[in-house]
């Protein structure tokens, strides 16, 4: 139990430090829309944007949608924390604990942006100056109405659909077009690990009767 507890706190702390350090650096050193290449590769970039909503730049419309999403995040964090505490208490396998710790850490990371960034930062506009941390005039949005900072952009494939392709024929195609952050990556890795370890815990068992179940013998 103690090992899993220390592991959980270690994972959550590590993800939050990486996530928030990078977000604060990007927020205070880049304007929205600014980008630079990673390792000189055009398919790997730091590209600063902010979004109002969900992971990977997905959005819910308007202030009401934003408030609902923030409320949902708080409830989800509480529920994940409750599940994780139960797993630690009952000595769940390390792999499952790690997966839930990663998901919880990512959820907390993005929740910090939504809850506090509007209060502690000035606005980041497109090519309109850098954001200021703890501005004298106050932040750009009230509690729970802040925007999430995203920066990882990996457009590995950029092409155009052939004209004969249904619906999207002739349109530009880009993979991977979503811009994300450390917290999003933590959530994604946690979900993948959960399915890996869950599948290992509940393998499909297929038994084959090699003795011809239901067969009959003819007698003379």
Nearest residue to 198 (alpha-carbon basis) of 121, 100, 108, 96: 96
C-alpha 86/C-alpha 95 separation (Å) is 15
C-alpha 180/C-alpha 155 separation (Å) is 12
- Residues paired with 118 in a beta bridge: none
The catalytic position among 19, 34, 113, 184 is 184
C-alpha 63/C-alpha 97 separation (Å) is 35
Annotated catalytic residue 19:
no
The catalytic position among 19, 34, 113, 150 is 150
Distances (CA, A) of 90 to 2, 21, 93: 11, 34, 9
Annotated catalytic residue 113:
no
Residues annotated catalytic, as ranges: 150, 184
């Amino acid at each position: 139990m103690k090992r899993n507890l220390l592991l959980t706190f270690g994972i959550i702390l590590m993800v939050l430090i990486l996530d928030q350090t990078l977000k604060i650096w990007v927020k205070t050193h880049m304007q929205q829309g600014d980008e630079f290449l990673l390792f000189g590769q055009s398919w790997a970039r730091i590209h600063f944007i902010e979004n109002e909503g969900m992971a990977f730049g997905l959005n819910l419309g308007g202030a009401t949608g934003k408030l609902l999403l923030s409320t949902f995040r708080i409830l989800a964090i509480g529920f994940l924390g409750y599940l994780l505490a139960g797993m630690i208490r009952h000595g769940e396998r390390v792999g499952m604990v790690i997966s839930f710790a990663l998901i919880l850490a990512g959820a907390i990371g993005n929740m910090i942006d939504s809850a506090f960034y509007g209060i502690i930062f000035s606005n980041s506009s497109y090519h309109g100056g850098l954001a200021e941390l703890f501005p004298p005039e106050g932040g750009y949005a009230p509690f729970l109405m802040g925007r999430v900072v995203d920066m990882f952009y990996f457009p590995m494939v950029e092409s155009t659909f052939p004209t004969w392709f249904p619906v999207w024929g002739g349109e530009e195609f880009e993979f991977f077009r979503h811009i994300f952050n450390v917290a999003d990556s933590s959530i994604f890795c946690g979900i993948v690990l959960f399915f890996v370890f869950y599948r290992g815990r509940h393998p499909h068992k297929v038994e084959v009767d090699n003795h011809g179940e239901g067969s009959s013998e003819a007698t003379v």
